[in-house]
Amino acid sequence: MKNKEKSKFGQQLIASLPSYLNILEITNYIAQKEKDQIQIITAYKSRNRLKAADSELYQSIVEKLEYSKKDLDANEFELMAQFLDEIQPKYEIGDQIKKISDIEQVISSNNNLNFQPEKVTLQIQKEFIYIINIWDTIVLGYNGPIDEVVQLHQMKTEWHGIVKLIAISLKSTTEEIIELVTLKKWQYLDHYKLKKNKKNNHQFLNMLNIEGLPFALVIGKNGKIIHAGYHYEVALDDLITQEMLRKDEDAPQLEELKKTKNQEQNMVGQKQSNDNRVLNISQQNKSNEDKNYEKLKSDISLLSKNSVDDKNQDLKEKQNQNIEQISKESKLQNANSMIKVQLKVLKQYLLDIQKVLKNLHFQSKFQIVLRRQRRLRFDGCLVIEQISDLELEYQITYQEMEMLDYFMEQVWNKIPEHLRIVKVSNLYSRSDIIKNIISIAFAKHGVSIKYQQTMKKSLIWDSNSQEMIINDSEGYTVQSSGLNLENFYEGIQKAKLSIEELRKNFDYCEEINEVIEKLQSNTTLGRGKKFAPILNYKNFGSSKKEKISHIKGQVLIIFYWQCNKNCIVQLRNIDELIIKNNESWSKIVKFVALNIGNEKEYISFLEQNKELQSRLQIYNKERAHLTDTSLYAITQVPYFILVDKFGFIRYIQSPINLERSIQQLVKENERDTYQKNLKTPIQQQSVDLIKRIISSNNFKTQLLSIDQKRVIEFRLDFEVQQDEKAKNAYQNIYLNYFIRDKQEEEFNQLLDKIFSIIPEDRWIIRKQIQQTVSIQYPGNKCVVCSKDISKEPKQYYCYFKKEHVCVECAEFTDLSQNGMYMYKYQDTLIFINGPLHDESVLHDIDSHKIGKNRQLQKGQKASQKHDFVCDGCVISSEGPRYIAVNARPGNYKKDGYIDYCKNCFQILKNKGSFEAKNIVAKNSHQGMTADSIFTRVLFNYGKYRDF
């Protein structure tokens, strides 16, 4: 095991601790997903704490640990620090205190003020009694007990010269202490304050285990603690009196020591006298012994004969005892040997498991743990007490069940059953994992989040089968307490570290966005909520910040925009609507365009389009933190907010038909009609009617007629209200769809059929309208070398600059240069693989396949190792990346684009070759053809979709 040589620092530290701690070592050997090696984590436990007498030893060990921090594994350091914290010494009654360090004297009892206190050590002197008062100015109202101590000292003249009063302030400044002492007239006390350190850690305080202030520590004449706690927990008057009357403990001890020594000396003299007497007796009896020798000899012979049976019996019993002892020791040794053998076997299984887990990509927890427990004996040896089975712990999603089945069948079930156990087995949906991460992150900011389960009925258009699928599933709503805009963004930032890794998975990304969106709706103003005034905007040509409010009886249209193509098109559409409806709208409808983009671009645009200023109120955002864009959750532009005559937000994002929606709001006269309708659940008969409409052949035929490329995504979700009285009623209904820009007009006609049953403003609509582009081909001249390329079938085209480049200039690579300078033409190019048999590949191209003309930033690494697997050779050779523009049309798919490396691209250019046909055939079912065009991405700009 490679990490067998893991730092032995912990064991060395443990060996230096006293044996009375009875320390238990717990080592976990862990095989985990996506890891190369087994992880070893060792922790120590003890039910006891160090005695105060061992405080210096404790401090030296803490310092040794801190000094070695840089050489230790972070986890090992953390566990050892946690263990030391658990065994930290604690003062008890009877413990001796010799000194108090790391304090600064502020005032002495002779009223000497020290405005620049220095670090001192308070030596505890014998023959004195100390009343140490620990306090602070932050709990000034609770310092009455110290007043009582001062008054008691004034009354008890016999205390003077014997009882020392000490005050130690925890956090107060020198000035605060002096001011309070002067006010309180605490002149009988020596005043100190704690010396601050970087870790805000003080051993003396830690050993006292103070729970509240003020705190009284009383030290007797022998330097031992006689009270530690609140002042009211003891009668100080009686305690001090008894301590003053108590005789010195050292005198009786010395007397006892002298008595013991005298007794020892007497015993030595007596022993010598006895020895002399024995010698004399011995000499006198020598002759008698000679006389009786013969008699004794015969007696011994007789005794030997009589006692032989007794000796044999004793010997037999002794032998049995020895055999029994040897048997016990043998059993213990055998048991210990068996444990070691079993541990070795389990470790080998764990190594084999790790080799498999290395290549399994579970999103959450999946690990196997082997646990060994050893007890530290009095002789300093660690002896194995217990080893566990192999314990499988997993927390996976339902989508990962197939991978789990593979592991269980191929690995887990092949281990003997008595050596393994499934200890933790939890199945989660993806959203459960995300919800848990977000809940934990927000809890740290005082926000409580609850997820209320709901039932959801869905109608989903499957473009592959060209059928409408009806599906029942579980949904949820998000409820929160203590949430506001500020801690919403703080919580999201806290959760970011955990969820960013999950965002790499497309399915998780969708779930994350859904949870965040539902949570954010608790802090933002959206459909059905009261409009709030907008601040921090300046009218064009003015430096004054204005407040944009709603006036009763007025329909207010807020339009968020930037100076990009889509926004400018919408801005001109709005201007045309104003001109068209001038008579009926002029006094009722107010249009406000709020630019949240680059100020220079905004000024330049309006200076060139002054006619817009006369009909639209156009403002530019003054930069500020958590303003209207946060309050109204503006995440993209163009973005509309339509406010009715009564101040309620009726439409957001982009209404299906802006003119129609405004006309509806203009005609409304009844106050709060919308709010009443919003609170009325949608009935089952309305949902059934919509089901019949979208399941009809007529609806299907119209949908297919506008979706020949099968790119439309369409889904209706009806959230069941959890109410026994309204079992078949729906509170929230959702419309989600993806279409291309050229499909919008005809698709809206289909939506009108749905809105005729349930009005548009009752739906929560999430839509994506994909912009499409066309490629100009062929080009006439290469923009780099100026040669005529009108008759060259293979060309490159830059959509962003509307320029054509010949193959030689586009593919020229100067290896003596670095980064973008390796290439003559550095902008993103599209390769047209002419001659074309199907020129439709040049049109209806999803703009996300073209990218954003990304280039290397200053200091960014010029890497041509891209984060993709080549769909041709799978090897992915280093060089530019080529994205098949026409394959996988429509919305971005979770399995990404069809990508090719530079080697496979060169093969595809020769599109008549056998190799090229094979590569195309692999992905022909996803729209890949011989005429497909390619986006060239020169470098890895960061993430997969950064190009």
The segment with the largest mean pLDDT, out of 32-36, 237-241, 429-433, 644-648, is 237-241
- Provide the strand spans (E) within 658-762: 713-720, 730-740
pLDDT at 673: 59
Q: Is the pLDDT at 315 greater than 90, yes or no?
A: no
Task: Answer yes or no: is pLDDT of 288 > 50.
Answer: no
Q: Please tell me the predicted confidence (pLDDT) of residue 868.
A: 83
Give residue 647's region: left, alpha or beta (phi > 0; psi -120 to 50).
left
Give the span between the Cα atoms of 163 and 189, in whole angstroms.
Answer: 11
pLDDT score of 750 = 92
- Which of the residue ranges 73-77, 807-811, 931-935 would you say has the lowest mean pLDDT? 73-77
pLDDT over 50 at 552, yes or no: yes
Tell me the C-alpha distance between 558 and 637, whole Å: 12
- pLDDT above 60 for 766: yes
Q: How wide is the angle at C-alpha 548 spanned by C-alphas 547 and 551, nearest 5°?
A: 120
Residue 280 has pLDDT above 60, yes or no: no
Map residue 540 onto helix, strand or coil.
coil
* pLDDT score of 115 more than 60: no
Res. 169: pLDDT tops 50? yes
DSSP-derived secondary structure letter, 381: -
The C-alpha angle with vertex 843 and arms to 838 and 848, in degrees rounded to 5, equals 125
Could you tell me the pLDDT band of residue 888, with boundaries at 50, 70 and 90?
Answer: very high
Segment 310-325 shows an average pLDDT of: 57
Does pLDDT of 761 surpass 50? yes
Residue 310 has pLDDT above 70, yes or no: no
Please state the rounded mean pLDDT for residues 441-465.
85
Q: Is the confidence at residue 160, as pLDDT, over 70?
A: yes
Residue 367 to residue 712: CA distance in whole angstroms: 42
Encode burial over 827-842: b for 16+ CB neighbours within 10 A, e otherwise: bbbbbbbbebeeeebb
Query: Of 510-524, 638-652, 682-696, 817-831, where does mean pLDDT reach its minimum?
Result: 510-524
The predicted pLDDT at position 321 comes to: 59
- The mean-pLDDT minimum among 40-44, 183-187, 720-724 falls in 720-724
pLDDT at position 332 over 80: no
| pLDDT tier for residue 261 given thresholds of 50, 70 and 90 | very low
**Whether pLDDT at 625 is above 80:** no
Map out the domains of the chain as residue ranges: 1-47+331-428, 99-245, 448-481+680-770, 794-937
Q: How confident is the model at residue 506 (pLDDT cuts 50, 70, 90)?
A: low
For the chain, how long is the longest CA-to-CA vector?
157
Determine the average pLDDT of the residues in 10-18. 84
CATH number of 99-245: 3.40.30.10
Q: How many CB atoms lie within 10 A of CB 765?
A: 19
The rounded mean pLDDT for the chain is 82
pLDDT tier, 295 (very low <50, low <70, confident <90, very high otherwise): very low
Average the pLDDT over 658-681 and give the result.
Answer: 74
Q: CB atoms < 10 A from the CB of 168, how many?
A: 24
Tell whether the torsion through CA atoms of 630, 635, 639 and 640 is positive or negative. Answer: negative
Q: Cβ(522)–Cβ(633) under 8 Å?
A: no
507, pLDDT greater than 80: no
Give yes or no for residue 298 having a pLDDT over 60: no
